[in-house]
Homo-oligomer: A and B are copies of this chain.
Amino acid sequence: MQPFTYELIKTCKQSGARLGVLHTPHGDIETPCYMPVGTQATVKAMTPRDLRDVGANIILSNTYHLYLRPGHELVREAGGLHAFMGWERPILTDSGGYQVFSLGDSNRILEDGVEFRSHHDGSRHFFTPEKVMEIEQALGADIAMCFDECAPYPSEREYARAAMERTHRWAARCKAAHTRTDQALFGIVQGGAYADLRVESAKTLADMDFIGYGIGGLSVGEPKEVMYDMLETIMPHMPADRPRYLMGVGSPDCLIEGAVRGVDMFDCVLQTRIARNGLALTKYGRRMLRNNEFAHDFAPIEEGCGCYACKNFTRAYIRHLVKAKEILAAQLITTHNLYFSLRLMEEIRQAIRDDRLLDLRREWQERGGME
């Protein structure tokens, strides 16, 4: 089995963006890459075959959700997450750090870990760095993330510092507890919206020598300009030979702006979530297919798109499916939104190759595709 490595192929002369390859036990992934989210061991409304068809190479799954249901022991018994969900390509699992704060009820942060209640049944649970490593190693993804504390936005400086420092201590404990050699462990940079804390976090984690780095605690309510500032602030302090993963971020504008600032990996539920509400991403901006304007519109979701939905169905038909609450609406719009985002990543990689990523950004801005 090939070890996990990151290969930096080139840097865009126009923007500093990075073209690279992640070599993982389940195959190679060109970066910058977007990871569709399969929260409960399924990317909603997509079969693994559908996922391959839209060009997905790596997906994300959620440790918090899988721990609660069906339980990581069952997934281990099934042969790991790849076998359990029938997905043979790379997988990344998050650590549940974000979810215990955003979904868990009456959580209590202690130095040892976080006590929280299940959002399903109110049962009590306790996540420590060691426990999370046990869970993620049972799930057996190609990439595991350290357990972190994600401070909300806005946070007082002292709170952001305390959360960051705890995140660093937990990162060390995760590293000590992590033993799987066929799984890469990434550290997570925190520090809220404070530039100096972010730099301190990036440096501290770099010294700990992780295989890759997540950038956490962004896109949690702050203005996008703040997120972009934080990225620009920390990038000079991130090891150039390690992949950089901007966690939970992936709208079309953020994919481009993140890549411009040197991000290698993204994940986001936006694509699949808005699809289930009838909202499609296109290079001309978003289209709410439920709207009356599409009732007699026999064009595809996006003109010229090569996805299964666009090659076979019209806006009028998909609008009908949305109005009729048919499952096929979610299937088709999810297919399109994922294909759209994965194709955008291809465009971004080609633009880096051609040293014209800022030109690409301007084209997308002018067309309205970043709205």
Contacts and interface: CB of A to CB of B under 8 A. Distances in A.
Interface in A307-335: 308, 312-314, 316-317, 319-321, 323-324, 326-328, 330-332
Interface residues of A, number: 37
Contact of A45 (B46, B84, B296, B328): B328
A291 to B, nearest CB: 14
Given A298-B78, A331-B331, A70 B308 contact: no
Interface string A31-51: 000000000111011111100
A69 interface: yes
A301 to B, nearest CB: 13
A254 interface: no
Nearest to A87: B312
A135 B11 CA distance: 61
A316 B74 contact: yes
Contacts of A323: 69-70
A295 to B, nearest CB: 7
B314 A78 contact: yes
Nearest to A77: B296
Contacts of A48: 312
- Most B Cβ at <10 Å: residue of A84, A85, A317, A330: A317
A221 interface: no
Contacts of A312: 48, 86
A317 B47 contact: no
Interface string A64-104: 00000110001001100000111000000000000000000
A332 B42 CA distance: 12
A173 to B, nearest CB: 30
Contacts of A316: 70, 74, 78, 84
16 contacts: A41-B317, A44-B326, A45-B328, A46-B328, A47-B308, A47-B331, A69-B320, A70-B316, A70-B323, A74-B295, A78-B316, A86-B312, A327-B327, A327-B330, A327-B331, A331-B331
Given A45-B328, A69-B323, A70-B295, 6 more contacts: A45-B331, A74-B296, A77-B296, A78-B316, A84-B314, A84-B317
